[in-house]
Chain A
């Protein structure tokens, strides 16, 4: 029997069109998300000035040229922040010296309590490559906004307060383009390859 050539061509054509459609949908979806303020801005479009634990001013442009890993937290956070910090310490150790050329940054969402000294003291318990940033609240807000992240002060029964905040870890390549997010407590087997991708 003769193969139904015309039909085959048709199938291939339909598949090609579908493929293009899906590709287009993906691209627009990413574009839409960026426009809708869901995806983080590229680092070169962010703007803020914060202070690290050694007192130096850090701006987003300082990160360009190196891959960047950023997360939000605060040192009065008893549950997920130490967990994220220890996860990150484990990932950095797994990646080894290769991770030296990455900016690994914790931005405090609690500048009222986290001074640069307090951040430094706290971070001394974790991987020394982790940089802690804090600063005036409007600058923190501007930084958080660039990542399309969020945070909120929540009063507690004892008169103290805690902070709700975005828990994922944001990854950018050396050109400052957003690469991916590592979700809170994401399995090591998925987290480490994501970081390696940002390092490429």
Chain B
């Protein structure tokens, strides 16, 4: 088992943009950043990820930027009487000693006006701005167009 981890660590250290990277900023840890392959650039893309807060104070994700889209936005899919809508989220709360996931059917970063085709297997960087912890950049793994969960394991698995 140890050897597998050592090998994985080697593989992970090899590329400049590492798939399945975990990044930290202050007490926050961001992991499992993934997206879906796009058909062309006309349709909006999406980014999902997990944020953990080991600190004792609440924080919040305020905005995102990425070279992959001219108009990235935070959204939240909500169900009202069975009807799905996705209003703009002013912020995504990151509770103290807790975590929040951007995941299908909930909070997501929506990439409007893609600047590039999102090709399965590639990565692109996304910079997250938190209210208190500041900014951090994470590579996003582009998965299959039909993916519904991250292929990257949770950091403590």
Say if the beta carbon of A200 comes within 8 Å of chain B. no
Number of chain B interface residues as a range: 20 to 34
B86 touching A82, Cβ below 8 Å: no
Flag whether A165 is at the interface (Cβ < 8 A): yes
Instruction: Say whether A85 faces chain B, with CB atoms less than 8 Å apart.
Output: yes
A-B CB pair tally, cutoff 8 Å: 83
Q: In the complex, what's the smallest C-beta–C-beta distance from A18 to chain B, in angstroms?
A: 31
Q: Does A121 contact B (CB under 8 A)?
A: yes
Q: Which of A54-62, A72-80, A131-139 contacts B (4 or more CB under 8 A)?
A: A72-80
Known: A76-B43, A157-B71. A86 touches B84 (CB 8 A): no
Provide the bound-state CA to CA distance between A92 and B148, in Å. 16
Which residues of the other chain, B, contact A149 by a CB distance below 8 angstroms?
82
CB contact between A166 and one of B42, B82, B112, B145 (< 8 Å): that residue:
B82
Residues on B with C-beta less than 8 A from A154 are 85
B105, A80: Cβ atoms closer than 8 Å? yes
Q: How far is the CA of A162 from the CA of B136 in the complex (A)?
A: 29
Chain A residue total in the interface (Cβ 8 A): 34
* Docked CA distance A128–B110 (Å): 27
Q: How far, in angstroms, from A166 to B42 measured CA to CA in the complex?
A: 24
Contact among B79, B82, B104 for A83, CB-based, below 8 A: B104
B147 at the interface (CB under 8 A from A): yes
- Considering only CB atoms, which chain A residue lies closest to B107 in the complex? A79
Any chain A CB within 8 A of the CB of B83? yes
Offer 22 A-B interface pairs, CB within 8 angstroms, sorted by A. Answer: A76-B42, A76-B44, A78-B111, A79-B75, A79-B86, A79-B105, A79-B108, A83-B105, A83-B148, A85-B146, A121-B39, A125-B144, A125-B146, A126-B146, A150-B83, A152-B85, A156-B112, A158-B112, A160-B44, A166-B84, A167-B82, A168-B82
Instruction: List A residues at the B interface (Cβ < 8 Å).
Output: 75-76, 78-80, 82-83, 85-87, 89, 121-122, 125-126, 149-152, 154, 156-158, 160, 162, 164-168, 181, 183-185
Give B contacts to A, CB under 8 Å: 36, 39, 42-46, 71, 73, 75, 77, 79, 82-86, 88, 104-105, 108, 110-113, 144-148
